[in-house]
Amino acid sequence: MAIFWVTLFNMKKIIVPITLATVWIGISEFVRNEFWLKPYWHDHYQAKGLLFPDAPVNGATWGVWSFLFAACMYMISNGSSFRKTFIVSWMMGFLLMWVVIGNLGVLPFGILPYALPLSIVEVLGATWIIFKFK
């Protein structure tokens, strides 16, 4: 029975920070892209003759992305400092994504002055949550 409680306690030290970081990331992404940057996305996609993918399945996919990002951040945080976790996570989650979608021609570069600082706040917040609740 003691092993059960120890395992449950250890799982809470993993589940709680990942879940809270997932929620923070999801809210950050939704607010940034739905309320602030959606016109940029729509105009950019329309100029390319494409429709901006904002169906519910796309939102669900971003929810999965948020969870995977938070889980990766948690793994990076094990044995790493706050600073290293933040830097590696931001590069992994945003810098690499922007390189790829820029290469595909679907990144509206006009969003970067807004998206860059907001992404930093997002990753700083998620890193703080992970270190606080771990």
- pLDDT digits 0-9 by tens, 89-126: 999 999 999 999 999 999 999 999 999 999 999 999 99
Report helix angle 56-77 to 2-30, nearest 10.
Answer: 130
CA distances from 51 to 8, 40, 73 (A): 46, 13, 32
CA dihedral 129, 116, 23, 21 (to 10 degrees): -30
Under a CB-based contact definition with an 8 Å cutoff, are residues 22 and 70 in contact?
Answer: yes
What is the per-residue pLDDT for 108?
92
What is the per-residue pLDDT for 6?
59
- Token duo for residue 26: 């999801």
Instruction: Tell me the domain boundaries of the chain.
Output: 2-133
What is the per-residue pLDDT for 112?
94
pLDDT tops 60 at residue 1: no
